[in-house]
Amino acid sequence: MDSRFQLTRTQAEGLAAEFGTPLYVLDEASLRARIRRYQAAFTAVASRSQLTYASKANSTLALLAIVADEGVLIDCASQGELEAALRAGVPAHRCHLHGNNKSTQELEAAIEHGVHQIVVDNFQELEQLRILSRRPGRSPRGHQTEAQATEPGSTGKGEAPGRAAGEMPDLLLRLAPGVNPLTNAKISTGQEDTKFGFNIGDGSARRALQMALENQLPVKGIHCHVGSQLLDPEAQRGAGAALARFARQMHAEFGWTCEVLNAGGGLGIRYTEQSPMPIEEYCRLLVGAIQEELQGSSLDPILVQEPGRSLVAESGVTLYTVGNIKPTPGRTFVSVDGGLSDNPRPALYDARYEVLDFHDSEDRQTVTVAGKHCETDQLFDGISLSSAIKPGDLLQVLCTGAYNSSMASNYNRYPRPATALLRSSGDFLLVQRRETWDEMFARETLPPDLLK
């Protein structure tokens, strides 16, 4: 059964009339159902487990509030994403800060807000954290012993109780496990030469842990993320096993107890003809690889996954209005009122999407759906649409809940689209209005002598 959210013709026409197009549409019910399914699948194979949402996929405030309401922590890859979570009502101690090049300002903001964890990426960042931990009124907490890890007040679900503002957060070391996932090279992050994390193979990971322990930094666990849109679980299983081996080795060498093992996210979804692994099977295989490597040790870390796309992508669609239709000797172009600025993924990653019209006719034609930007801007090639398609008709593009709104731009000075949320009650609510001209130009100033 196709679980991907899609609009009926009546819904699409009503939304276009009320909010205009292009329009992002999110479905609350399918989002909550997807989260609950993932949580149930993960808990079934790892009782000490926690989901964290990779908010880079979509940080619309209403969406963040829904995800947090389902008990999922929020992973923020920038200070801006942290600010979004806070504005969505998510407590800082339910947020993590990521990033391969965090500024001192970002680290200070995370500490002062009282985030739960900072995922440390490199030696310079470790040194920054060492300096910040020595500031007056802020003492290093060091790593917990096994006994301390189960003290009253620990949730046992990978999240800290509320932390005082300014207290050093828990630290996880991001590791590069040296695996090459089967995915687009531009979204592969677990290989040896990745810009992310401490390399296990060349000893950097070991030296990072030693440096953290010697400086009494509160390093509580390890993290990796090997890539995105993964349809084959073997790279993720290999990375999970590599993290578990590292944890065992560091326990033997330094007496350090890994309390949190975060295997990242990356599970793929069905955009077109893909057949992603069921969440239940994926969780079973991933957790099995980690537990097999930890077998015989005294280590029992909280296991964390960090999905983004696999939670939100299938709960979103984008609605477009058809404009110019142009037959050429090679193909027919059906142009829509959006494009590169509201969905750059086809240009960046050769991403493909399923595009549906609202005609009942069985007479079909194969077309290229093009955007209106001053580029080639061929959004979707080889798309089957009704031969009756005409200007003013509506098209919906499935699975745009992830990496569309969050990557939108003002290229060619187009306003960023609005977002409508289909509530569980059945009502549509505008949760992100379309950008205005005044908002687009608010950052700019024109020197008076240039104004003629």
CA of residue 432 relative to chain centroid, distance: 19
Q: Is residue 354 part of a domain?
A: yes
3-state helix, strand, coil in the chain (%, to 5): 35, 20, 45
Spatial CA neighbour of 137 closest among 110, 113, 169, 166: 166
Give the residue, 157 or 343, on which the prediction is more confident.
343
pLDDT of residue 1: 60
Q: Is the pLDDT of residue 205 over 70?
A: yes
Q: Span 352-378, mean pLDDT? A: 94
Question: For residue range 69-115, what is the model confidence (pLDDT) as tens digits?
Answer: 999 999 999 999 999 999 999 999 999 999 999 999 999 999 999 99
- How large is the average pLDDT for residues 166-174? 93
374 is catalytic: yes
Q: Which residues pair with 52 in a beta bridge?
A: 73
Task: Give the tens place of pLDDT for each residue, 244-294.
Answer: 999 999 999 999 999 999 999 989 999 998 888 899 999 999 999 999 999
The pLDDT value recorded for residue 117 is: 97
- Percent of the chain, pLDDT > 70? 90
Lowest mean pLDDT: which of 171-175, 181-185, 322-326, 333-337? 181-185
328 pLDDT higher than 70: yes
Give the range among 112-126, 184-198, 260-274, 290-304 with minimum mean pLDDT.
Answer: 184-198
State the residue range of the domain holding 323.
314-441
**Where does a domain end: 305, 340, 355?**
305
SS3 at position 18: helix
Q: Are both 191 and 319 inside the same structural domain?
A: no
Task: Tell me, yes or no, whether 281 and 341 share the same domain.
Answer: no
Q: For residue 72, is it within any domain?
A: no
Distance CA 277, CA 138 (A): 46
Query: How many Cβ atoms from other residues are within 10 Å of residue 352's Cβ?
Result: 17
Domain total of the chain: 2
Say if CB 120 and CB 129 are below 8 A apart. Answer: yes
Which one is catalytic: 76, 224, 258, 374? 374
pLDDT at 353: 96
- Tell me the pLDDT of the chain averaged across its residues: 90
Report the CATH number at residue 334: 2.40.37.10
Q: According to the model, what pLDDT value does residue 107 have?
A: 97
Transcribe 357-421 into DSSP letters: -S---S-EEEEEEE-SSSS--EEEEEEEEETT--TT-EEEEES-SSSSGGG---GGGPPPPEEEE
Reply yes or no: is the peptide bond before residue 169 cis, omega within 30 of 0.
no
271 and 330 share one domain: no
Last residue of a domain, which of 305, 330, 349? 305
Whether this prediction's pTM lies above 0.85 is answered by yes
Share of the chain above pLDDT 90, in %: 81
Residue 362 is predicted with a pLDDT of 87
